[in-house]
Amino acid sequence: DIQLTQSPSTLSASVGDRVTITCRASQDINMWLSWYQQKPGKAPKLLIYQASFLESGVPSTFSGSGFGTEFTLTISSLQPDDFASYYCQQYIGYSRTFGQGTKLEIK
Amino acid sequence: QVQLVQSGAEVRQPGASVKISCKASGYTFTTHSIHWIRQAPGQRLEWIGWINTGSGETKYSQKFQGRVIITRDTSANTAYMDLRGLTSEDTTLYYCARDRVGNDFWGQGTLVTVSA
């Protein structure tokens, strides 16, 4: 199975900050990676697909990059609504695996 | 608008089975596969399996192989997940999610509690 490792596990930041979360895959997954935002008690929300494509309706402050085994999610200017947990997901083939998550906290 | 609505919370005894439904609306059901994913509190999301809603083909995580069956009823636009041999480790929130370059729409989640 393909393993995904996110870093950091927890990130403390302030409104207006630029933050980056990294996701590393245990093997080459080409560009087949998505990023999700999850708030307590809610289902995950798709932010980025195919490593760098912004899902419809998602603010342009979110961006994704990467290819192969290393990927990043960047939030260019944190807004109060952005404090949540973030997960990466690989979808090469029919199976799916997720990273362990990054909790973005207010500093 | 696209919606996935799951059945309500369930309580089962150890060793029992549970069947959860996921009713889709707002799109053509057979054009997107449905995945089942679960999440324990504070834990990462865990993929269970997938059904091609058009053909009925299924694929399961090795962890759940032999213990889970995913089906669909195209006349009812509904997918189902049947999990057997429940243990306390299966006490968690279960989601269905539509497949599209990842999972673009999710159900609201169904809490399954396994307790004697």
pLDDT in tens, A28-60: 999 999 999 999 989 999 999 999 999 999 999
Nearest CA in chain B to A91: B102
Cβ pair B50:A94 closer than 8 A: yes
* Minimum distance, in Å, between the CA of residue B17 and any CA atom of chain A: 24
pLDDT of residue B25: 98
Residue-averaged pLDDT of chain A: 96
pLDDT of residue A94: 84
pLDDT of residue A89: 97
pLDDT of residue A17: 97
CA B78 to chain centre: 11
Judge residue A93's burial from the number of C-beta atoms within 10 Å of its C-beta, 0-12 exposed, 13-18 middle, 19 or more buried.
Answer: exposed
Q: Two tokens at A81?
A: 């609504």
Residue A37 contacts B where some CB pair is shorter than 8 Å: no
Nearest CA in chain B to A47: B104
Q: Residue A102 and residue A86: Cα distance in Å, rounded?
A: 5
Q: Residue A84 and residue A100: Cα distance in Å, rounded?
A: 14
Quick check: A24 pLDDT over 90?
Answer: yes
Quick check: B43 pLDDT over 90?
Answer: no
- Alpha helices (H) along A11-67: none
pLDDT of residue A10: 97
* Minimum distance, in Å, between the CA of residue B47 and any CA atom of chain A: 6
Quick check: B52 pLDDT over 90?
Answer: yes
| Averaged pLDDT, B8-26 | 98
Give the one of B45, B50, B61 whose C-beta lies nearest to A44's C-beta: B45
Confidence of residue B42 (pLDDT cuts 50, 70, 90): confident
Residue-averaged pLDDT of chain B: 96
> Is omega for the bond preceding A80 within 30 degrees of 0, making it cis?
no
| Averaged pLDDT, B78-90 | 97
> Do residues B84 and B22 lie in contact, with contact meaning Cβ atoms separated by under 8 Å?
no
| Averaged pLDDT, B72-81 | 98
Q: Residue A32 and residue A26: Cα distance in Å, rounded?
A: 13
pLDDT of residue A57: 95
Q: How would you label B40-56 residue by residue, b for 16+ Cβ within 10 Å and e otherwise?
A: eeeebbbbbbbbbbeee
Nearest CA in chain B to A93: B59
From the list B40, B107, B49, the residue with the least C-alpha distance to B82 is B49
Give the one of A1, A94, A100 whose C-beta lies nearest to B44's C-beta: A100
| Averaged pLDDT, A16-32 | 97
Cβ pair A96:B103 closer than 8 A: yes
